[in-house]
Structure 1
Amino acid sequence: MLSARSLFQEILDNDESFRLFCSVAASGESQGGWENARIAALVPRSERDLASKITRHGADEDKHGRIFDALLKKRGLTPVPVPPDTDYTMLLERHGIGLAHHRLRSDRPLTVPEIVTYLAHSRVTEQRAAEQMELLHRHFADHPDLGRAVKTISHDEDNHLAYCQEELLRFAYAGHGHAIQRTLRECALAEIRIHRDVSLAVMARMGRILGWPKARTALLAAGIHAVYAYERAAGWRRMVTLRMPERRNALGGPAAPAPESA
């Protein structure tokens, strides 16, 4: 029976598919760490209290990248280059979602509208990350190799999502509500399209590595398209809703250490 657990177990059991999975994940997390570090450095004086939380966010992302690298090292594997069509973070940036990298490389402080753009982009992508890690946590929390890593990253992603919602609500109360909703909608609709494309690219490569028959590959592709159709029709709305989270000030303290040994 084809299920999320059996599918990921198959990827986990093969060294080459596991290398690709961890390499793609580590690259995206490390890129997120760099972006957050640059944003923290460019936060305007009026929002300096936010800088420490953005720094913590970036530290968590860097930690996640090290965790995936540690999982590879534990199996005696090295990372592989990330294929461009599977590079979720760079594809988002290339499509104008979030703050452009050339802007982050400058020394000019960010404006409040740019901070709002960053938070809206993060709120959407952290929704995806939290859901994906919750799925892995549900199925692999007790796994001897993955369990500790999955628990750590899932907890962090929940914190990131809570932090983004709390900060966006603060800006909404300060008069940025219309801009926030507009940006959230734009980000969500772009994200679901890019997530579909990246999912198709990753599954196609996994299929070639694992020797899946064409019928299975076609079934998985159909499932990815079905998820996109649902998200395009209504599912994107979960990414733009703002509710005060139960976890308040989720990034107000230091980052927890990484389980470097995975």
Structure 2
Amino acid sequence: MLSARSLFQEIHDHDEAFRLFCSIAAKGEDQGGWENGRIARLVEDQWLAPRIARHGADEDKHGRIFNALLHKRGLSPVEVPDDTDYTMLLERQGIGLAHTRLRRDEPLGEADVITYLAHSRVTEQRASEQMRLLRKVFGQHPEIGRAVRMISNDEDNHLAYCHEELLRLAAAGHGRRILQTLQETARAEIRTYRDVSLAVMSHMGRILRWPTAKSAVLAAGIHGVFAYELIGGRHRMTTLRMPDRLDALGGPPPRESFV
């Protein structure tokens, strides 16, 4: 019987599948670390800058964690196929702040900050949900449980921070722009998530030698999620509420380290 647990367990138990999974995750986290690091240097809001830097430091840490999980298995990262590169595909659609903009040493304005936070709010919703799923499957696993719990907690913090900061900007009169940016970002993100999910499953299917019927069932499930999100499920990405975790990224990062 197909389930998230059985699927993730199959990937975990196969060296090449696990290698690809961790490589994809590490690249995405590394990219997020770089982006947040650059934004923290360019933003003029002195309240926000250290929190963005903390966000970037967390993403860098996650990249190191995924690479450490590979190292523990005696594996090295592999080149990530372009069709599985979630962050690159979003940037190509004009979602978030372009890398060409971030490479220029020019301060970011308020509109740039809204674009950044809206992009983060949508993508961190996805990351938080994915890590909660992995936490259900592997939270108590002796090899990777601690890493999964740590990253999941961080992603929940990132999502809380995005809610709080966007609500702060909405209260300052930017509500309409924020809502429009969230809606545009969410529409692009759900398409990209579908495409990346299909690509990842295709690569995993070849590695794990899945029968055609199994691949077809998984693809149908991905398309089903896309249809649900297109019709109405994306609203969870575009609404804002004051989080239970206030100032989730205030203060220095925890001293605990995985690697």
| TM-score exceeds 0.5 | yes
Q: Equivalences for 1:1-262 in 2 at 5 Å? A: 1-44=1-44, 47-256=45-254, 257-260=256-259
One-letter amino acid of the structure 1 residue matched with residue 17 of structure 2: S
Contact conserved, 1:64 with 1:258, CA < 8 A, in 2? no
Q: What is the CA distance between 1:258 and its match in structure 2?
A: 2.9
What's the secondary structure of 1:49's corresponding residue?
coil
Higher relative contact order (CA 8 A, sep 6+): 1
Q: In the aligned structure 2, how far is the partner of 1:146 from the partner of 1:123?
A: 26
Contact conserved, 1:200 with 1:221, CA < 8 A, in 2? yes
Offset from partner CA, 1:9-32 (integer Å, 9 cap, x none): 000000000000000000000000
Q: In the aligned structure 2, how far is the partner of 1:140 from the partner of 1:8?
A: 9
Q: In the aligned structure 2, how far is the partner of 1:134 from the partner of 1:21?
A: 17
**RMSD in angstroms over aligned alpha carbons?**
0.5
Q: What is the CA distance between 1:139 and its match in structure 2?
A: 1.4
Q: What is the CA distance between 1:48 and its match in structure 2?
A: 1.3
Q: Runs (4+) of structure 1 moved beyond 3 Å?
A: none
One-letter amino acid of the structure 2 residue matched with residue 165 of structure 1: H
Contact conserved, 1:28 with 1:89, CA < 8 A, in 2? yes
Q: In the aligned structure 1, how far is the partner of 2:191 from the partner of 2:231?
A: 12
Q: Percent of aligned pairs with the same residue?
A: 70
Q: In the aligned structure 2, how far is the partner of 1:139 from the partner of 1:91?
A: 28
Q: In the aligned structure 1, how far is the partner of 2:58 from the partner of 2:106?
A: 25
Q: In the aligned structure 1, how far is the partner of 2:157 from the partner of 2:141?
A: 23
One-letter amino acid of the structure 1 residue matched with residue 133 of structure 2: L
Offset from partner CA, 1:38-65 (integer Å, 9 cap, x none): 0000002xx1110000000000000000
One-letter amino acid of the structure 1 residue matched with residue 243 of structure 2: P
One-letter amino acid of the structure 2 residue matched with residue 191 of structure 1: E
Unaligned stretches of 5+ residues in structure 2: none
Q: In the aligned structure 2, how far is the partner of 1:128 from the partner of 1:31?
A: 16
Q: In the aligned structure 2, how far is the partner of 1:38 from the partner of 1:258?
A: 23
What's the secondary structure of 2:108's corresponding residue?
coil
Q: What is the CA distance between 1:136 and its match in structure 2?
A: 0.6
What's the secondary structure of 1:176's corresponding residue?
helix
One-letter amino acid of the structure 2 residue matched with residue 15 of structure 1: D
Contact conserved, 1:67 with 1:258, CA < 8 A, in 2? no
| Structure-2-length-normalised TM-score | 0.99
